[in-house]
Every structure is written in structure tokens, then in C-alpha cells.
Amino acid sequence: MNTLTKSIGQQMAQASLMRSVYLWMTLALVITGLTSMYVAKSMTLINLMMQNSLLFWGLMLAEIGVVVYLTARIRHLAFSTATLLFILYSILNGVTLSLVFLIYTFSSIATTFFITAGTFGCMALIGYTTKKDLTRIGSLCIMGVIGLIIASLVNLFLHNSMMDLIISGVGVLIFVGLTAYDAQKIKQLLTGNDVEVNESTQKIALLGAMTLYLDFINLFLYLLRFMGDRK
């Protein structure tokens, strides 16, 4: 009876933690979206970013800094501190993504968002339910991200539209694969005989939420380069 009770308790803990992953990811996306729309409607804030390149790049570096710090130090941070950092990152990302509203029409942004949500949901479900080990696919996708960064930096100087199209297509494929891989990896981290809801596992779930959040944002941006109607 004790074994059965313990097993049920562990299953409930795992289900609760997985719900937390997607709840925090969704909350971060909502914060980012609302921040983006608010900043996009303020010409004062938009002009401030457009006319001050140091401010824009400072925001970008701050985003990278928060992600690196949170990933490296999450074991040593209080859960409340880690949560606040995740919210801060969502806000910073929303500020920089507001420029998307200046480039693309609102209708195409909305359409691409729903397509991204559908694609992301399908791949996350596949990653969560499949019995196949996706580690190899994940490793290839991570190497692909490095290649994407290098190719994107090179194309900043070349301004080659065909290369930009290829980069966008490869980017979509890479983050589709990463979504499935990360969903499986998070499930594995939160599955075990000793899993329970405590600060340590909540921080793992929070880090998983940030990982999936980044997959969603990148998939959205690469799809938008294909499907977005420019103003």
C-alpha cells in the first residue's frame, strides 16, 4: 500500500511539474507579447531605440547576460530570484521584439504566431510521447544553431536575399527539431523514482520553461521571415 501511495504521489508530482513548465512558458510569452505591443505603440520608446544604437545593443547584451547567468547559477539562486530573472528576460525580449511591429503587418504577425503555436504544440507532444531517443537529433540541432549564428553574421555584410531565405528555412527546421528534443529532455529530467515538488525540481521546471520559450520565439521569428507581410 505504501509503495502504491508513493508511486501515485510521484506521478502527481511529475504531472504538476510538467504543468508548471508550460504554464511559466505561456506566462513568459504573454509578458513578451504585451511588452512588445506596448513599446510598439510608443513612438517615444521606438525612436529612443532606433536613434540610440548603444541602447539597443545594450538591451540585447542584457538579454544574453540574463540567460547565461540564470542557466549557470540557477542551482545557487533562490527560486523566487530565478523566477524574477525569467520575467525580466521576458520583458527585455519584448522590448527588442517590438521592432517586429514596425517591419511586418499586425495580421501577418498574428497569423504566424498561431501557426507557430500549432507547430510548437505538435512537436512538443511528439517529443513528450515518443519512445525514440532524440539525443542525436538534439545534438545535430545544437550544432546547427552554431552554424546559423555564423551564417547570419556573415550575411549581415553580404546582404544576400537568397542566403537569408536559406538561413530562415534551416532555422525553422532546426527549432522544430529542438522543440521535440527539449520536450523529451525536460520530461526525462522530471521523471524518476525520487521526483517530488520542491525548490530544486521547481527550478529545473523553470529552466525547462525558459528553454521551450526560446525555442518558440526563435521558431516564430524564422517563420515570420517566410510568412510575414512587410509594411
Distance CA 159, CA 195 (A): 50
DSSP state letters, 71-135: HHHTTTS-HHHHHHHHHHHHHHHHHHHTTHHHHB-HHHHHHHHHHHHHHHHHHHHHHHH--S--H
The predicted structure's pLDDT at residue 2: 59
pTM of the model: 0.92
> According to the model, what pLDDT value does residue 15 have?
82
Residue whose entry in the numeric block shows the C-alpha cell 544576400: 160
The CA distance from 32 to 27, in Å, is: 9
Q: Write down the pLDDT at residue 156.
A: 86
Q: What is the pLDDT along the chain (231 residues), one digit of tens a residue?
A: 456 565 666 778 788 888 999 999 999 999 999 999 999 999 999 999 988 889 999 999 999 999 999 999 998 999 999 999 999 999 999 999 999 999 999 999 999 999 999 999 999 999 999 999 999 999 999 999 999 999 999 998 888 889 999 999 999 999 999 999 999 999 988 886 566 778 888 999 999 999 999 999 999 999 999 888 887
Given a contact cutoff of 8 angstroms between Cβ atoms, the answer to whether 69 and 47 are in contact is: no
Give whole-number Cα distances, 181 to 171, 193, 231, in Å: 15, 22, 35
Distance between CA 115 and CA 37 in Å, rounded?
Answer: 19
What cell does 101 get?
A: 511591429
Q: How many CB atoms lie within 10 A of CB 114?
A: 9
Q: What are phi and psi of 187, to 5 degrees?
A: -60, -45
Take residue 8 and report the three cell numbers written for it.
501515485
CB atoms within 10 A of CB 5: 9
Q: Which residues have a Cβ under 8 Å from the Cβ of 89 and sit 6 or more positions away?
A: 28, 63, 66, 67, 70, 210
- Give, in order, the Cα–Cα distances in Å from 147 to each of 51, 55, 154, 212: 31, 27, 11, 20
Give the separation between CA 98 and CA 96, rounded to whole angstroms. Answer: 5
Task: Tell me how long the chain is.
Answer: 231
pLDDT of residue 194: 67
pLDDT reported for residue 3: 62
